[in-house]
Structure 1
Amino acid sequence: MPNLYVTEPGARLEIEAGRWLVSLGDEVQLSVPATRVEQVVIAGGVGVTTPALGLLLDRGIGLVLLTLGGAFRGRLSAGVGKNVGLRRQQYRRAEDPAFCLALSTAFVAGKLGNARTLCLRLDATNDDPTTLGVVADLHRLIAALDEAPDRDAVLGIEGQGGRRYFDAFRRHLDPPWELPRRARRPPPDPVNALLSLLYTLLHESCYSALDAVGLDPYCGYYHAERYGRASLASDLMEEFRPIIADSVALWLLNKQILSLSDFRPVGEGRGVHLSQDAWRHVATAYQRRLATTVRPPGVSRAISYQKVLEVQARALRRVIEGEDSAYAPFRTR
């Protein structure tokens, strides 16, 4: 259990005898060995005791705070990386347009390539004209990335690819689920709300992977610099959106793990939130997906997606430091 999720209103996270305890009133809801947790995610009105905060800081375990709707509020961490030389190199690289373009192209190629693979999996019999058209368009757009003159051009290609990909994605949603369009701030319907929550969880997983290898998650190369945005985490997560977050969403929806009653409108113009039961289902499914094992190129054994995130973060670090000439995004078969 690399991630521990606590979402029950009024719950309290404690540490006792080397175990994380999630308590509600006087009743212990969950007990987990402290050594098994690498990150804690809490949502809504959840409390954390001072001894628990102390252990999180002592062990460098991140504490991520979300709203009940899944929006990011903040993060507690033990401090920034201590490798000043690496971070100086990272910042210098961000001033190099050619370097930023090369990484931007790689991130988007990984995203569109994995989106194409997911589309092929969804249409296993190759008999849906819409999905086959999307697959062909994604192949064309991936090739067009080689000719992109700057990051704005890459953004345009990504936008085209994203729109076409969601044309196929919505085709493979079983009733009663619908996705009229991708919208997020705030998400206006259940499918958008679920996708936004899963993207938030994935973003925080990428943040932790980058932090673990000594990189500054806020200094990115593709996503524009903006106050408070962890741009490098947004960069890294692109190639994993289809194969982690979107795959989990489709499983939860089409397997009827979630129902329409699990979502409720918050108020006029404030979007849709998940129920407590839905939160638990999402956290469990996301954690299960991170634990799924794959064998990346150049790795001799199968490793979990959680570990793949760190492998890719280390690959990115090697490119930044000049040990490798180019970044190879993770591509699933």
Structure 2
Amino acid sequence: MNNLYITGTESYLKVQDQHLLVFHPHKPCCKVAINQVNNLVLIGYCKRSDKAIYFALSRCIPVLFLDDKGNYFGRIETEERRRVKYLAHQLKRAKDLEFTRAIAESIVRAKLHNSCTLLRHFSHCHPTKATQTTLDAMALLLDDLPLADSVDVLREYGQTATKLYFQSLGCLFAGALNFDQPIQHQPTHPINSLLNLGYTLLNQNIYALLQAVGLHSHFGNLHIHRDHHPALVADFMEEFSALLVDALVVDLVILQLFTPADFTLPDARGGVYLYPNAINKFIQYWEKTLQSEVNHLYAGTVNYQQCLEWQVQEYVACLLGEREFYRPFLSKK
């Protein structure tokens, strides 16, 4: 999946001879063949011609809008993109309590396993008692997963793990960018802002993958169905957030690739956000992360983007009854 990102108020998008052209006054023109683009992502108040948007939509390329802070704003896509190939199967499986519980357990298992993998990896050189306590507690939760008799109980296990995990993850950032507060969804610190942008990009990547194969994004298993909440996307987020977003942000912060100068001063609500150039920089690292190779137990050596695609197909096979159990991605690193 190839994403074309357009950022900044000075950027201008137009179309010419089956190519999308991105102009910027201080950079060379970027020219991309339309058949190489799967998603068009517009960030902030960048300028674009109506013809360019029409051109993208006529080729069934969805156009995603993020605001200048990197928050999801909306998307435009053609009806042809809105496939519901597996909707009947999803509706049927949603009533199958055994199926939803089994899938939910697999998701929580992957969440705990991959979160522990990240904590062990980054705390190897600087182990702390707090991190080891978290790892021990999450190991107990993993052992107890088969005993959970409902999705509600599994959801509680996941929530407990999240609280423990983020406490230890925060320790990895201690002192970096003057970090002195809990990790939270509100962007009140540069690190929270980096994490939120990463989660937004991962969320929209998964959403696009689900739509491309014909899955309805609101029929999940672990997460509760509600308005404006794509539960199936959230399910996959549990499996990959630690490996793709959290690990990336820890690396960027430890290597000091982002500094206070990359972020705005706190606004009236205390929000701290990336400047447009810093958003560009983060996106470059994000795309490199998606293209980095990983060993998949069943698919072999693939990059993370292919890994996401493989897991979506794994879920489809499970949904159709072609596979008895959903096999989540469990990191080995």
TM-score under structure 1 length normalisation: 0.92
- The letter of the residue matching 1:67 is D
CA 1:265–1:104 in 2, change beyond 3 Å: closer, same or farther? farther
State the 1:63 CA deviation: 1.7
Give, in angstroms, the shift of residue 111 of structure 1: 1.2
Q: Which residue pairs with 1:332 in the alignment? A: 331
1:107 aligns with 2:98: no
Deviation string, structure 1 residues 241-261 (Cα, Å, up to 9, x no partner): 011001111122111111112
Structure 1 residues 321 and 83: alpha-carbon distance in aligned structure 2, compared to 1, 3 A threshold? farther
1:41 CA drift (Å): 1.5
**Structure 1 residue ranges, 4+ long, deviating more than 6 angstroms after superposition:** none
**Structure 1, residues 112-145: CA drift from partner, whole Å, max 9, x if none?**
1101111111122474322222222221112222
How many residue pairs were aligned?
331
Distance 1:14 1:270, change over 3 A: farther
Asked if 2 retains the 8 angstrom alpha-carbon contact of 1:315 and 1:327, the reply is yes
Amino acid of the residue matched to residue 329 of structure 1? P
In the other structure, the counterpart of 2:182 is: 181
- Residue 238 of structure 1: how far off its partner (Å): 1.1
Give distance in 1, aligned partners of 2:45 and 2:226: 28
Partner secondary structure for residue 30 of structure 1: strand
Corresponding position of 2:318: 319
Letter in 2 for 1:325: E
Whole-angstrom CA distance in 2 between matches of 1:329 and 1:74: 29
State the alpha-carbon separation in 1 of the partners of residues 119 and 276 from structure 2. 31
Contact 2:20 2:34 survives alignment (8 Å): yes
Unaligned runs of 5+ in 2: none
Aligned to 2:268: 268
Larger displacement relative to structure 2 (187-196 or 118-127) = 118-127
What residue identity is the alignment partner of 1:326?
A: F
Alignment RMSD, CA only? Answer: 2.2
Cα distance, 1:82–1:227 mapped onto 2, change above 3 Å: closer
**1:57-136 alignment, distance < 5 Å:** 57-79=57-79, 84=84, 86-125=86-125, 127-136=127-136
Structure-2 change in CA distance of 1:270 and 1:123 (3 Å): closer
Residue in structure 2 matched with residue 2 of structure 1 by the alignment: 2
Question: For structure 1, which segment, 150-159 or 126-135, has the greater mean C-alpha deviation from structure 2 after superposition?
Answer: 126-135
Match of 1:240 in 2: 240
| Aligned pairs (5 A) from 1:94-243 | 94-125=94-125, 127-173=127-173, 175-177=175-177, 178=179, 180-184=181-185, 186-243=186-243
Q: What secondary structure sits across from 1:329 in the alignment?
A: coil
Structure 1 SS opposite 2:273: strand
- 1:139-193 CA distances to partner (integer Å, 9 max, x unpaired)? 1112222112222222221121112212221222253332622321x32211111
CA contact (8 A) 2:174 2:180 kept: no
Identity over aligned pairs, percent:
26
